[in-house]
C-alpha cells in the first residue's frame, strides 16, 4: 500500500476543484482539463455532499456537474455526460456504439438498461470466416462490416423517459456546443489522432474532422460540425433523429460504401431493453450489477463469492496468498464465461446456477495452495471473448442519493475506424465481440462458445460491469471501468481494495492491478503491482507472470459514513472527478 501513497498524494494535489458557469466552457478553445467544484457541501478532506461526477474527460464531468446544479438528477446528468463524451472522448465515448446502465434510486429501487449493439438482420454465423472456415481477423475489426446496430441513443432516450427530470433539449445542448465550437484536445488525444492517421485515411476517403495534414498537438482545437448537426437532430427529434430520417440515410449510405449490412429496418427496429439486475452479497454489502448480455455482473458476483470464505483483509493487499486465491477464482469464472454466457434472448443463460453458493464452493474445491492450477484442466462447470480496452465508464450520484453507473463502448479504440460521412460519428466494431468462430480466441484472447455465436438481431456478449453497492440499505459505492477482458477483474479488485483492505476511493482506483482470464494461462501484471518476493513465490508454484501496461481506468464514487462523496478518477487516463 505504501507504493500507492506517493501517487495518491500527487493525484490529490493535481486534481483541482473550481466552480464555473457552464456557458464559459463552450467558448472556442476554452477546454479546461481539471476538476471544478462548488465549495458548498465540501469538507476539509476534499469530499462533497451534494453530488459527484467521475468520467473519462474533464469537460464531460463539467457538463454532468452543471446539470446536477441546475436541479437535474443522476440520470439527467448521465444523459448529458454520455453525449458530451461522444464529442470530447471520441475513442470510446459515442453515439455509434452501445453499453449498459445500472441505476439505484435514493429509496433503493434498482434497475438496469441494456443498450448493447445488435447484429444486423442480414448477419450470419460464418460471415467473418474464409472458405476453409478460419476467421478473417480484419473483417470483424475494421470497416463498415464490423459494425453492429448502435444502441447508445436509444438507451439515453429510454433512461430519460423513465427517470429524467430536466427537458431532453437541455441535456443535449452542452454536447452540441462542444462539437460546434470545438474544444482543445489533450496531449493523450493528440498522440492518438496522430497514431490513427493512416487508418483514418484508409477508411475515410471522404475525410473526417479527426484528420489533418499537420500533426496534432496538445491544445489544438477539434471542431466537429457534422457531429453537431447530428446531435441537433437528436435534440429536436429524440430517437427518430438518429434511427430514422437524415442520419439513418447517412448510416445506410456508409454501409454501401464499405460492404456493410446495417439497413434502415435494423435501425428503426432497434430497442433498448430494461432488465432485472444481477444481485448478490459480499461481506454484508449489497451488490447490484449488470445481467447478460453482459458477462460482467455474473462474473463479478462469482468472483466475490469465491473469495468471501477467505480472510483477505488479514493476508493483505496483493500478497502472494491474496493474488493466488483471486487468480484461481478468475481462472474458473472466465472458463464459465466462455461456455455459459450470451444474449439471454437467444440462449438460456443459467444465471441462478452460476452464482449459487454451493456451485461456487464446488468450483473452488480443486484449488490447492501447493501449486497453480492449469487452465487446461479447468473447463466450464456443470450447471443443474472481449471488448477492446477503449471502453469508457462514468459514475454519477446526485444530491438526493440517486446513483447511475454507465459503461459504454465502440469496442476497439475509435471503433471500426469509420466516421459516418455527413453525420460525424464513429461506427463501432462490436461484431468482434461475438464468437466469430466458437472455440477460437478473439482479438483480446477471450474464447467463446455456441452461446455467443453470431445470429441476426442478437446482442454480442460483453465484459462491461457497471456496479452499484449498498450497505444496510444505503448507497456505498458506484464503480466501473473500461478495459475489455480486464473490466471484470479491475472492478473486482477495486471493490476488494475498499472493503477488505480499507483503502480510500482514490487509493483503490490508483492501486496497481493484475489479471487472469483462464486463457491464455498467465497472470498479466501492471508494473509494481507485485513485489519481487511475491513474484518469486508465485513463480515457484508454477504461475506464469507477464508484465503489461495499464489495466483499466476505473471511475468510482464512495459514500463515507459521514455522508460525503469521495471520488476516484483513474490517473491512467485524463479521467476527472468533480463534486459539489
Strand ranges, E, within 448-522: 467-471, 474-479, 514-515
CB 490 within 8 A of CB 513: yes
- The x, y and z cell numbers of residue 379, run together, are 473447463
CA 94 – CA 148 distance, rounded (Å):
13
SS (H, E, C) 222-256: ECCHHHHHHHHHHHHHCCHHHHCHHHHHHHHHHHH
Terminal Cα-to-Cα distance of the chain (whole angstroms): 29
Q: Which of 391, 481, 494, 534 is catalytic?
A: 391
Distances (CA, A) of 498 to 281, 309, 503, 521: 15, 17, 5, 28
Tell me phi and psi for residue 435, to 5 degrees: -80, 95
The three-state secondary structure class of 46 is coil
CB 578 within 8 A of CB 555: no
- The x, y and z cell numbers of residue 106, run together, are 435514493
User: Grid coordinates 457531429 are at which residue?
Assistant: 227
Distances (CA, A) of 173 to 150, 412, 425: 21, 28, 17
Strand ranges, E, within 410-561: 467-471, 474-479, 514-515, 523-526, 545-548, 555-559
CA 192 – CA 478 distance, rounded (Å):
29
Q: How many residues does the chain have?
A: 580
Residue 422 φ/ψ region, left for φ over 0, alpha for ψ in the -120 to 50 degree band, beta for the rest: left
- Residue 293: cis peptide before it, omega within 30 degrees of 0: yes
By 3-state DSSP, what share of the chain in percent is helix, strand and coil, each rounded to 5? 40, 15, 45
CA 292 – CA 464 distance, rounded (Å):
10
Question: Is 391 a residue of the active site?
Answer: yes
CA 387 – CA 198 distance, rounded (Å):
23
CB 245 within 8 A of CB 237: yes
Please report the sign of the dihedral spanned by the C-alpha atoms of residue 354, residue 355, residue 361, residue 363.
Answer: positive
- The residues that are catalytic are 391
Amino acid at each position: 500500500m505504501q507504493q500507492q501513497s506517493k501517487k495518491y498524494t500527487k493525484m490529490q494535489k493535481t486534481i483541482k476543484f473550481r466552480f464555473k458557469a457552464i456557458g464559459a466552457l463552450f467558448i472556442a478553445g476554452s477546454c479546461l482539463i481539471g476538476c471544478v467544484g462548488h465549495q458548498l457541501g465540501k469538507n476539509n478532506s476534499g469530499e462533497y455532499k451534494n453530488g459527484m461526477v467521475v468520467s473519462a474527460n474533464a469537460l464531460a464531468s463539467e457538463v454532468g456537474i452543471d446539470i446536477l446544479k441546475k436541479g437535474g438528477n443522476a440520470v439527467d446528468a448521465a444523459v448529458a455526460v454520455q453525449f458530451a463524451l461522444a464529442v470530447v472522448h471520441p475513442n470510446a465515448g459515442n453515439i455509434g456504439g452501445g453499453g449498459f446502465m445500472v441505476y439505484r434510486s435514493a429509496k433503493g429501487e434498482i434497475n438496469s438498461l441494456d443498450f448493447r449493439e445488435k447484429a444486423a438482420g442480414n448477419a450470419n454465423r460464418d460471415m467473418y470466416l474464409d472458405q476453409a472456415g478460419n476467421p478473417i481477423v480484419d473483417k470483424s475489426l475494421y470497416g463498415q462490416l464490423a459494425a453492429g446496430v448502435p444502441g447508445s441513443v436509444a438507451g439515453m432516450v429510454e433512461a430519460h423517459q423513465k427517470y429524467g427530470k430536466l427537458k431532453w433539449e437541455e441535456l443535449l445542448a452542452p454536447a452540441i456546443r462542444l462539437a460546434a465550437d470545438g474544444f482543445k484536445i489533450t496531449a493523450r488525444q493528440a498522440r492518438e489522432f496522430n497514431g490513427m492517421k493512416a487508418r483514418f485515411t484508409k477508411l475515410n476517403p471522404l475525410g473526417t474532422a479527426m484528420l489533418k495534414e499537420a500533426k496534432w498537438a496538445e491544445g489544438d482545437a477539434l471542431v466537429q460540425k457534422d457531429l453537431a448537426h447530428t446531435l441537433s437532430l437528436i435534440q429536436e427529434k429524440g430517437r427518430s433523429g438518429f434511427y430514422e430520417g437524415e442520419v439513418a440515410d447517412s448510416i445506410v449510405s456508409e454501409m454501401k460504401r464499405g460492404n456493410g449490412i446495417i439497413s434502415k429496418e435494423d435501425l428503426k427496429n432497434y430497442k433498448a431493453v430494461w432488465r432485472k439486475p444481477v444481485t448478490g452479497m459480499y461481506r454484508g454489502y449489497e451488490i447490484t450489477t449488470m445481467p447478460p448480455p453482459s458477462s460482467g455482473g455474473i462474473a463479478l458476483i462469482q468472483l466475490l463469492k469465491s473469495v468471501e470464505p477467505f480472510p483477505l483483509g488479514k493476508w493483505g493487499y496483493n500478497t502472494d496468498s491474496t493474488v493466488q486465491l483471486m487468480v484461481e477464482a478468475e481462472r474458473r469464472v472466465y472458463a464459465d464465461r466462455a461456455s455459459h454466457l450470451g444474449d439471454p434472448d437467444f440462449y438460456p443463460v443459467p444465471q441462478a446456477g452460476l452464482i449459487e453458493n454451493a456451485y461456487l464452493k464446488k468450483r473452488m474445491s480443486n484449488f490447492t495452495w501447493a501449486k497453480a492450477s492449469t487452465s487446461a484442466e479447468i473447463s466450464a462447470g456443470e450447471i443443474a471473448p472481449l471488448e477492446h480496452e477503449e471502453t469508457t465508464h462514468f459514475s454519477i450520484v446526485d444530491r438526493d442519493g440517486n446513483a447511475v453507473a454507465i459503461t459504454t463502448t465502440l469496442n476497439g479504440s475509435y471503433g471500426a475506424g469509420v466516421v459516418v460521412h455527413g453525420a460525424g460519428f464513429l461506427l463501432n466494431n462490436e461484431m468482434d465481440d461475438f464468437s466469430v468462430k466458437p472455440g477460437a480466441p478473439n482479438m483480446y484472447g477471450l474464447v467463446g462458445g455456441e452461446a455467443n455465436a453470431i445470429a441476426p438481431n442478437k446482442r454480442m456478449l460483453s465484459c462491461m460491469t457497471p456496479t452499484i453497492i449498498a450497505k444496510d440499505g444505503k448507497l456505498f459505492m458506484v464503480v466501473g471501468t473500461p478495459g475489455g477482458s480486464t473490466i471484470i477483474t479491475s472492478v473486482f479488485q477495486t471493490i476488494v481494495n475498499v472493503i477488505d483492505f480499507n483503502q480510500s476511493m482514490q487509493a483503490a482506483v490508483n492501486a496497481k492491478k493484475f489479471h487472469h482470464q483462464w486463457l491464455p494461462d498467465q497472470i498479466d501484471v501492471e508494473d509494481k503491482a507485485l513485489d519481487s518476493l511475491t513474484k518469486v513465490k508465485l513463480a515457484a508454484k508454477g504461475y506464469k507472470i507477464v508484465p503489461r501496461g495499464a489495466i483499466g481506468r476505473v471511475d468510482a464514487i464512495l459514500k463515507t459514513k459521514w455522508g460525503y462523496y469521495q471520488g476516484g478518477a483513474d490517473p491512467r487516463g485524463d479521467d476527472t472527478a468533480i463534486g459539489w
